[in-house]
Amino acid sequence: MRILLICTEKLPVPCIRGGAIQTYIDGILPYLSKFHDVSVFSVTDSDLPNQHVLNGVSYQRFPTGDSDAYYQAAAKFVAEEKFDLVILYNRPKYLPSIAAASPSSQFLLSMHNEMFHEEKIKPEVAETCLEKVRGVITVSKFIADGIADLFPDYRHKLNPVYAGVDLEQFQSRWSPEGSRRRQELLSSHGLTDRKIVVYVGRLSIKKGPHILISALPQILEQHPSTFLFIVGSKWYGHNEENKYVRQLKEQAKTYEESIYLTGFIPPANVQKYFLMGDIFVCASQWQEPLARVHYEAMATGLPMVTTMRGGNAEVVIPDMNGLLISDYENPDAFAEAINSLLSNKELAEKMGRYGRHLGDKYYGWERVASDISRIISDCCLS
């Protein structure tokens, strides 16, 4: 089939600036392009040509900044090029206009956030969208259930497909090469004798890094050698600060020997922070769709501590690959969970190894692409 992926208007693909959706698309492209003629419509970037072919995938770019103009350009491109299948990412309100531009094309929707609430899309537009698409792929059962609750007549079109991780890029800390690199990284950072807790995500109040920093005194009381990496920035691709980021930095000053805020880290370099870690923590305060960092932590062999918010808990088997926190606003709950893992090295290692086992079995990009290919076959070729 001739397939077009229409990416969101925020960040480019390939994911040189980061982004969960962009990483997802990058992950599945090598596999989809083996069997289909794949094109990508994405935003312009100063480090990328406006038109090019990379690894057999054709890229067409349009400037970001005006969402309506971006999706009008996408509709024009679809109309001119005539694709068999168009997969639109995370912007259901634009699907009817794009579909109208190419009535001979079939459409799938790939949903990564709660975009079907009335403040995001008018109910009548949502129904038109769901009527038109052959199927909806969602990154978690949480997202699928949210759509089904609002529009139960379309439940049969919803297909939860868990995302994945590059299992070669994110090496296990237990593998010979991963262990060697881990020791090199710890030594180069002067952290050989420290216990490393890792947070990876945007610096946003809804992501909760302030809760984690607030838990640090109790963690240091029991485990004085603990070191906390806060990996990320306010927004992808740069280190612009806002009031919240400045507050985080001020909060961290009290523990400057035990915490480091890295700022933005290019996607290709994030893996080394996971590799240095002993524990991964996701402190989400919002109903998160299902943060991809969980897959990256599992691939690296880290036990996880995450909140029971949104879809995050769907990839955690309590006491097997991680711990779940229901009292997500309470720093004491994080301190208790982290201290329990730091105090029980055997249990932490068991969780980490099982996480990598799950990654190998379920969370590689090849499996994700295979699931999507099955949906394409069931929905669009039947």
Q: Is the pLDDT assigned to residue 372 strictly greater than 80?
A: yes
Q: For the chain, what's the residue count? A: 382
At residue 112, does pLDDT exceed 80?
A: yes
Distance CA 119, CA 152 (A): 19
Question: What's the pLDDT band for 238 if we cut at 50, 70, 90?
Answer: confident
In the chain, pLDDT over 70 holds for what percent of residues?
100
Q: How confident is the model at residue 219 (pLDDT cuts 50, 70, 90)?
A: very high
If one counts every other C-beta atom within 10 angstroms of the C-beta of residue 145, the result is: 15
Q: Which tens digits make up the pLDDT trace of 42-74?
A: 999 999 999 999 999 999 999 988 999 999 999
pLDDT (0 to 100) of residue 213: 97
Average pLDDT value for the chain: 96
Tell whether the model's pLDDT for residue 334 goes beyond 90.
yes
Q: Judging by DSSP bridges, how do beta strands 51-54 and 57-62 pair with one another? A: antiparallel
Rounded Cα gap, residues 27 and 89, in angstroms: 14
Give the model's pLDDT for residue 381.
Answer: 74
Q: Is the pLDDT of residue 382 over 90?
A: no
Q: Global pTM?
A: 0.95
C-alpha distances in Å from residue 213, one per residue of 21, 127, 274, 334: 28, 43, 18, 10
pLDDT in tens, 134-170: 999 999 999 999 999 999 999 999 999 999 999 999 9
What is the spatial order of strands in the sheet that 322-325 belongs to?
Answer: 259-263, 226-231, 195-200, 279-282, 304-307, 322-325
